[in-house]
């Protein structure tokens, strides 16, 4: 992509609209239909190394950390390797136990975030194997890691990350598939995931074609002082990322909680002035998620659902196309990027350069 605005009013809007092409680029040349797997050239991890991995630990900050949370779930689901994500900024300060059988993955758009780089250096010093999942080619984190995956999102100018988040999550999908196929993921499941990945660019176009509805909803919800974002398992990191997007660009206070935790405290906040954005995928947790919507409705809370079908209990639903259960999280956050953008626009915010923030945090 060039730095040309191409008719968009902000880089954020432009970059949201570049996502179908960006995902296409992340997939290009990597899919191996013959063996229902993917080739990730720079990984430096042969099948024997991949099979020896006992745990995966993903480190990143902000949006990249959220992408890592989704990535960890994909790796657990598809490769059945225990995996989790942690903010790199926390990890490096807690004298972590570094285990030789754990595969560490540093996630970063810029490849220059100081906290992530410092975590990588500490891990290397302790003899760990560290991979990078990075956007900027040749960046410090890409150079310091033992191998990795470039996410190929193209240049991202807006301080608020959108297309890079999506490409990170897609890249984690590729990695999870690759690891899974060196283990117990069947040919049939590999094929199913590949078909799901191939559908993504077209489905992203479908979501973006619904922009007018999202613009209207954003205008309506822009009056809120505070918003709750909820999701369960696959939907929870989506809720966290969507709440961060809204905070960063509109300055509206937002909280993200697992839907399952509502009754343990945050339900006390629910009232008409505190709308909830709920991530409601059509997966095995659909009924549980519907029950959470009922609890909110019973407290007169307004609900905006992002779902695969219209949710009766919600005041509004943004319907997104269904993919494979394991890949749904890639798509469900995209309408909420537009929601954050239009909310900020309605409030007259400086969308590409929100106050107090820098694109890349290269200091401690
Ligand atoms: C994203 O919208 C943020 N501005 C921020 O959280 C960002 O993701 C974080 O600072 C990490 O940056 P990186 O991906 O370049 O390492």
Host H or E run for residue 250: helix 235-250
Residue 363 is predicted with a pLDDT of: 81
Cβ atoms < 10 Å from Cβ of 188: 9
C-alpha–C-alpha distance, residues 151 and 171, integer Å: 6
Q: Which atom of ligand 1 is nearest to the CA of 245?
A: 2
Task: Name the residue among 339, 348, 284 with its Cα closest to residue 306.
Answer: 339
Supply the residue whose CA is at minimum distance from atom 8 of ligand 1. Answer: 63
245 is catalytic: no
C-alpha 64 – ligand 1 centre gap (Å): 6
Q: Which of 219, 297, 353, 359 is catalytic?
A: 359
Supply the residue whose CA is at minimum distance from atom 11 of ligand 1. Answer: 61
Best mutation site among 10, 64, 351, 352 for ligand 1, i.e. most ligand atoms within 8 A of its Cβ? 64
Residues of the chain with pLDDT below 50 are 1
Residue 1 is predicted with a pLDDT of: 46
Is residue 269 within 8 Å of residue 228, measured between CB atoms? yes
Q: Is 213 helix (H, G, I), strand (E, B) or coil?
A: helix
- 98-151 pLDDT, tens digit each: 999 999 999 999 999 999 999 999 999 999 999 999 999 999 999 999 999 999
Residue 295 is predicted with a pLDDT of: 95
DSSP string, 253-283: EEEEEEGGGGGGTGGGG-STTS-EEEEE-SS
Supply the residue whose CA is at minimum distance from atom 4 of ligand 1. Answer: 160
- 303-325 pLDDT, tens digit each: 999 999 999 999 999 999 999 99
103: tokens are 């595969």
């Amino acid at each position: 992509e060039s730095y040309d605005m191409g008719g968009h009013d902000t880089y954020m809007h432009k970059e949201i609209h570049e996502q179908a092409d960006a995902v296409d680029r992340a997939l290009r040349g990597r899919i191996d239909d013959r063996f229902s797997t993917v080739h990730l050239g720079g990984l430096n991890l042969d099948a024997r190394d991949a099979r020896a991995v006992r745990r995966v630990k993903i480190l990143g900050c902000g949006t990249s950390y959220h992408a890592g949370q989704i990535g960890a779930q994909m790796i657990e689901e598809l490769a059945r390797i225990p995996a989790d994500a942690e903010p790199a900024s926390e990890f490096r300060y807690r004298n972590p136990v570094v285990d030789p059988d754990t595969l560490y993955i540093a996630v970063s758009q810029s490849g220059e975030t100081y906290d992530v780089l410092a975590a990588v250096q500490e891990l290397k010093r302790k003899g760990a194997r560290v991979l990078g999942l990075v956007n900027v080619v040749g960046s410090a984190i890409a150079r310091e890691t033992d191998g990795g995956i470039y996410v190929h999102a193209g240049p991202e100018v807006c301080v608020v990350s959108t297309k890079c988040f999506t490409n990170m999550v897609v890249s984690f999908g590729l990695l999870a598939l690759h690891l899974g196929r060196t283990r117990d993921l069947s040919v049939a499941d590999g094929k199913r995931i590949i078909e799901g990945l191939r559908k993504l660019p077209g489905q992203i176009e479908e979501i973006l074609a619904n922009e007018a509805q999202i613009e209207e909803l954003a205008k309506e919800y822009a009056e809120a002082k505070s918003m709750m974002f909820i999701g369960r398992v696959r939907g929870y990191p989506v809720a966290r990322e969507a709440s961060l997007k809204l905070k960063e660009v509109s300055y509206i206070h937002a909280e993200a909680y697992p839907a399952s935790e509502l009754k343990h405290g945050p339900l006390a906040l629910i009232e008409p002035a505190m709308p909830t954005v709920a991530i409601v995928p059509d997966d095995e947790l659909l009924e549980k998620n519907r029950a959470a919507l009922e609890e909110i409705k019973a407290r007169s809370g307004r609900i905006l659902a992002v779902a695969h079908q219209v949710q009766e209990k919600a005041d509004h639903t943004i319907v997104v196309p269904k993919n494979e259960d394991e890949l749904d999280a890639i798509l469900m956050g995209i309408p909420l990027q537009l929601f954050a953008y239009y909310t900020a626009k309605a409030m007259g915010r400086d969308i590409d350069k929100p106050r107090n923030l820098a694109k890349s945090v290269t200091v401690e």
